[in-house]
Structure 1
Amino acid sequence: MEVSGTSAPTVTVFISSSLNSFRSEKRYSRSLTIAEFKVIDHSGVRLGEYEDVSKVEKYEISPEAYERRQNTVRSFMKRSKLGPYNEELRAQQEAEAAQRLSEEEAQASAISVGSRCEVRAPGQSLRRGTVMYVGLTDFKPGYWVGVRYDEPLGKNDGSVNGKRYFECQAKYGAFVKPAAVTVGDFPEEDYGLDEM
């Protein structure tokens, strides 16, 4: 028995993936062999070899040469007095930062170490604890209040980046801004769990 007929000169291949709902349609010549279809890289480069960017040659320019150029972002910002080159805006930001610091200092001066407190931080539940530290820190600018919580709701043990500000158990300590701290007679919460 002999079968004869005409066939299209191309083959249509549909490529799909379980990762998304899109399908790709490709057309190939019937004369294309699998060896020609398969891409083989003979360059000797292994997969992921160029991910180490230390092997990539980088373009470097000295700060003096960059400063002399006229078509750079820095020269545009200087001409337009934008960002750090806007003296008025920078002076205004420095004044606002100084005002915030003086407000924080006034709030922090009303908080004394050893006082009981409630912490009302935005996006967090009400927490009670004892004030363990009040003052400036090395990890962020401004005044901070170190609190030892009654429950393990904190983030540290009284130390940040290896510097110890006060002593407490792990996950019982936290640093909050003075505005979030209310000092007063706040005894530890009794949930009645000791009676079990």
Structure 2
Amino acid sequence: MSFSFLWAAVVPGTFQADGPRTKKAIALTFDDGPGLFTERVLELLDKHKVKATFFMNGDQVRLRPQLAREVAKRGHEVGDHTWSHMNFYAFEKKNGVEKTREKAREEIRKSKIEIEKTCGVKATILRMPNGYQRPWMKAVAKEFGYALVNWTFGEDWLKMPEEKMTAEYLAQVRPGAIFLFHDGGKGREKTLNIVPKLIEKAREKGLAVVTVSGLLD
């Protein structure tokens, strides 16, 4: 699954799902943690000498504070993924735009406090659950000092053969790409197998592997 949008710098209130194609780099992102696979992802990234961006849910940060701190301690970027990973598309359909806007503020505010208190870092980027995006979300993100970031390509939650999934990820390796993976949830073995191959493919193409902010800077 991919998104295609024009690039903009990491500035509060902006939205992007792609980096500049003139920059010889890609970014790896991991959502929904810290979770059961976060420690293994960290070990993998250390092994390959790569820094990535982790979009954390506030409730998971509260559940696994030591692991959340470890992500930041190892030099990875921490992004906000709201408090509880609720489905905002479904919420909006049932409750309308105004209640959804207020719910988004509530979820972001709560997670921002938890992330900053626990990790000791100030996040500058926000990714909404399920890539939720509406024109007014940029203004909401700006209230919290965030830029909105989605992704160029990601599908590690889908049920498909690992060989096919790997091929589809590798086919998307090009300057400016932002890749979505997950360290939260269960059954992320495919992710652990695909990421090293993606790093190798990027380096074969002369592309650095960096954080989202590093890519969009």
* TM-score bucket (shorter structure): under 0.3
Structure of greater relative contact order (alpha carbons < 8 Å, 6+ residues apart) = 2
Greater C-alpha Rg? 1
Structure with the largest fraction of strand: 1
Structure with the largest fraction of helix: 2
**Given the two structures, how large is their TM-score scaled by the length of structure 1?**
0.18
